[in-house]
A and B are shown apart, each in its own frame.
Chain A
Amino acid sequence: MEDEQSFSDICGGRLALQRRFYSPSCLEFCLSCPRITLRSLTAVTCSVWLAAYGLFTLCENSMILSAAIFITLLGLLGYLHFVKIDHETLLIIDSLGIQMTSSYASGKESTTFIEMGQVNDVVINEAIYMQKVIYYLCILLKDPMEPHGISQVVPLFQSAKPRLDCLIEVYRSCQDILAHQKATSTSPEGGDKIISASNRRSHSGMGAYWHRQEDKSEQDHDPASRIGHCDYVQSFMHTR
């Protein structure tokens, strides 16, 4: 079962979120980034060639012009192959793990798979990015030494950078599957997780944010900002 919605990213570009529901335990989200536009391509090409022509008039060496053409071509190929991400996919399989795939514009795909045994939780975090404060979805990994500690934070959808509404959709589905997985897991700490999962599920969407606040693992937030964000979230949820 597939459905598609359109959202916007933090800069205002259009994103398309495709959700594929394979089974109650397997879900896939595909977020498509805005394509490379003809306008930006033309602008870059023209600026490079103008600069090359300016150098040519100074140096009277025609190699500069051919070099500029080569640079443009190679730069475009390199950009498409290494930089420009076409779509990012998140595949969650209950009891197996979470897989993130980034597909580049040239067709290259880079995949990372995290086993469910290493996943502590999936949360929405906020961060200061240049001059903005943005939300991002991230996976918290378990610390092998400490049973309830966090060893690493893996951010998701880093190139697409969707806004909060899109993140909420993904977050809700992830939490459904994670709760189901923890309820049926065989690990010894499944017990406590079941309780917290049921707590989580008993609240509405607001409850999800409260759970996030109560999570002891957010070391990089001081209490003041946490409370402030909590207030903002409350008002945000009320106005929706």
Chain B
Amino acid sequence: MGLVFRGAAEAGLGAASAADRPGPPDAVPNPTPTPPAEGADPGSSRGPGMVLKAFFPTCCASADSGLLVGRWVPEQSSAVVLAVVHFPFIPVQVKELLAQVQQASQVGVTVLGTWCHRRQELEESLGHFLEGLGAIFSHKPWFQLCRERGSKSWSCKATHWRGPASPAASGEDQVMLIFYDQRKVLLSQLHPPMALPDRQAGDTTASAGGLAAVFDTVARSEALFQSDRFNEGPVRLSHWQSEGMEASILVELAKWAAGPVCLFLACLLSLISAASSCRVFKLWPLSFIWSKLSTCEQLRHRLEQLTLIFSTRKAKNPAQLMRKDLIGQLADALIPVADHVAEELQHLLQWLMGAPAGLKMNRALDQVLGRFFLYHIHLWISYIHLMSPFIERILWHVGLSACLGLTVALSILSDIIALLTFHIYCFYVYGARLYCLKIHGLSSLWRLFRGKKWNVLRQRVDSCSYDLDQLFIGTLLFTILVFLLPTTALYYLVFTLLRLLVVAVQGLIHLLVDLINSLPLYSLGLRLCRPYRLAAGVKFRVLEHETGRPLRLLMQINPLPYSRVVHTYRLPTCGCHPKHSWGSLCRKLFFGELIYPWRQRGNKQD
């Protein structure tokens, strides 16, 4: 065969493993014998009996015999096989291709060993031939994987050359085969575990955890997967593209065709709708025929719907767009709801003006406040009734903007609630101001009662000597305010609770809007449809094992759980968070200061 292979010692070695390396030898045109190349990695300090790991792609398990091409990771003692180079090949061209790939992808791709997919007949010459290849592409360790065609028995050996001087001292290591789906590992993204927050995320040199190295190697070796065994290049490779090319062509074609097809459909529909509204079709007897055939009726119905969707004219009547006239129903429902709320408020005020919860109120103040608020409600109700004819149109125009999304609709709902409960907000402000004034007055007069004064300059309480008349009037006012406190406090309490209720409802809607805004729909869809793209880790399954054969494992991708997907890919929200803590909120409530639960950016209210 014109190969340079070693002497009898190699033949002896070949004989020991010749039992499982037959196969038809392919002609190798003009192999150039080169000295043992520098493909050997610096030897790692391993002891004997070490188990080496070989990551083998499942797509190459049925490929014809050839050379194994991939990357050797000495720290993990593992070899990641990326492709199989088929016979016939010229070693120089193979080395050129590997050098190109190495330059393009920064991954140390080398020839790792030989792969033999044998048939039934045994051939000694192939054994020697494959041994000879080890001399051309020398690599430490040199893998020899072999598989019987049509059965599940594999055999693998990894040998170390010690050089031509002492060939008999080459040792053999046990090899563990781990099968992986190359396409899935190529597309997958490994997420580091969440439990260690101080670990660096994503090492670029691929020397972090063993599995991260495997994923990284496959992902960065795209340059190797560009040519295939079906291509007419000098080197024929087998990898994941060899089995999946046809399907991906169809998908690509579908993607390219989608845009023009949609445009074409829209034009077609407009043509059809223009043609069908032509007057010719409305003449008798054509119109009589159209009306009798139910297919034509249905087609016309569908065409009407489609033209409505694709039309660019503004709708003449807002009710035309709704099948069930939802907007009208909503507008009709709003007025009675507002009336109902106002009635309930009136009942509440009547109750407060009586003896609420058995407390005895100051009659005069009670009547004043109660009548003031009742008049306010009366104004509000008349305003609502004035607006009622226009509500439907306003609502429809406002509802149009809901086509921008559910979040816009929810925000509109929140604003409508705010507007409808405006009177509650007003009551709260009145009650809070009154209460605040009263509290300030009380505190100041209490200091006077004790003979002290607030020093504005020093911002502290100082003692002060008052005149007798000052003391007398001050004490009088203090007593009045103290006895009027329960009434004011009760009104303040009731309206603050109502206001807090409205604020809570609005807060819930805002929370929902935030949630919808920050939900990563694409990532969730990816997790649902292509779970291998987002990997939390891997899982192994032990395949059928026979004693004496190497251990075979199947490596599958463990997808990320949905909670981690949402947590990792959460979109940044533009919502505002409440600025108060619970303590400051209680303090403000006690002193009657106004509460602004959230402040929009650039929209300060007072």
Spell out A's residues near B (CB within 8 Å).
20, 22-23, 25-26, 28, 91, 93-96, 99, 101, 111-113, 115-118, 144-145, 151-152, 183-184, 186
Name the distance in Å between B180's Cβ and chain A's nearest Cβ. 13
**Secondary structure at chain B's binding surface: helix, strand, loop or mixed?**
loop
Name the distance in Å between B99's Cβ and chain A's nearest Cβ. 28
Contact of B50 among A115, A151, A184 (CB under 8 A): A184
Contact of B542 among A91, A113, A152, A186 (CB under 8 A): A91
Q: Which residues of chain A have C-beta atoms less than 8 A from B46's C-beta?
A: 184, 186
Name the distance in Å between B155's Cβ and chain A's nearest Cβ. 14
Q: Does B47 contact A (CB under 8 A)?
A: yes
A-B contact pairs, 9 of them (CB 8 A): A22-B542, A117-B210, A144-B196, A151-B195, A151-B196, A152-B195, A186-B45, A186-B46, A186-B75
Name the distance in Å between A23's Cβ and chain B's nearest Cβ. 5
Q: Which residues of chain A have C-beta atoms less than 8 A from B539's C-beta?
A: 99, 101, 111, 113
B540 A93 Cβ-Cβ under 8 A: yes
A96 B53 Cβ-Cβ under 8 A: yes
Spell out B's residues near A (CB within 8 Å).
44-47, 49-51, 53, 74-77, 174, 176, 178, 195-196, 198-199, 209-211, 537-540, 542, 545, 551, 553, 558
A115 B540 Cβ-Cβ under 8 A: no
Q: Which residues of chain B have C-beta atoms less than 8 A from A113's C-beta?
A: 537-540, 558
When chains A and B are docked, how far (Å) is the Cα of A25 from the Cα of B77?
15
Name the distance in Å between A118's Cβ and chain B's nearest Cβ. 7
B540 A99 Cβ-Cβ under 8 A: yes
Beta-carbon nearest neighbor of B552 in chain A: A22
A91 B75 Cβ-Cβ under 8 A: no
Given A111-B539, A113-B558, A186-B46: A93 and B198 within 8 A (CB)?
no
Given A22-B545, A23-B545, A186-B45: A115 and B211 within 8 A (CB)?
yes
A91 B540 Cβ-Cβ under 8 A: yes
When chains A and B are docked, how far (Å) is the Cα of A152 from the Cα of B553?
27
**Secondary structure at chain A's binding surface: helix, strand, loop or mixed?**
strand
Q: Which residues of chain A have C-beta atoms less than 8 A from B545's C-beta?
A: 22-23
B45 A26 Cβ-Cβ under 8 A: no
Q: Which residues of chain B have C-beta atoms less than 8 A from A99's C-beta?
A: 539-540
B538 A26 Cβ-Cβ under 8 A: no
Q: Which residues of chain A have C-beta atoms less than 8 A from B551's C-beta?
A: 22-23, 25-26
Q: Which residues of chain B have C-beta atoms less than 8 A from A112's C-beta?
A: 537, 558
Q: Which residues of chain B have C-beta atoms less than 8 A from A117's C-beta?
A: 209-210
Q: Which residues of chain A have C-beta atoms less than 8 A from B540's C-beta?
A: 91, 93, 96, 99, 113
B47 A152 Cβ-Cβ under 8 A: no
Q: Which residues of chain A have C-beta atoms less than 8 A from B538's C-beta?
A: 113
The 4 closest A-B pairs by CB, nearest first: A111-B539, A23-B551, A184-B47, A113-B537
Beta-carbon nearest neighbor of B49 in chain A: A184
When chains A and B are docked, how far (Å) is the Cα of A152 from the Cα of B196?
9
Given A22-B551, A111-B558, A113-B539: A95 and B195 within 8 A (CB)?
no
Beta-carbon nearest neighbor of B50 in chain A: A184
Beta-carbon nearest neighbor of A115 in chain B: B209
When chains A and B are docked, how far (Å) is the Cα of A118 from the Cα of B77?
16
Beta-carbon nearest neighbor of A145 in chain B: B198
Beta-carbon nearest neighbor of A95 in chain B: B51
Name the distance in Å between A99's Cβ and chain B's nearest Cβ. 6
When chains A and B are docked, how far (Å) is the Cα of A161 from the Cα of B398?
60
A183 B47 Cβ-Cβ under 8 A: yes
Q: Which residues of chain B have C-beta atoms less than 8 A from A183's C-beta?
A: 47
Q: Which residues of chain A have C-beta atoms less than 8 A from B49's C-beta?
A: 184
When chains A and B are docked, how far (Å) is the Cα of A115 from the Cα of B199?
15
B196 A115 Cβ-Cβ under 8 A: no
Name the distance in Å between B129's Cβ and chain A's nearest Cβ. 31
Given A23-B545, A101-B539: A118 and B209 within 8 A (CB)?
yes
When chains A and B are docked, how far (Å) is the Cα of A116 from the Cα of B77?
13
Known pairs A26-B542, A95-B51, A186-B45 / 9 extra A-B pairs, C-beta < 8 Å? A22-B545, A25-B174, A25-B551, A28-B542, A94-B51, A96-B178, A99-B539, A113-B539, A184-B49
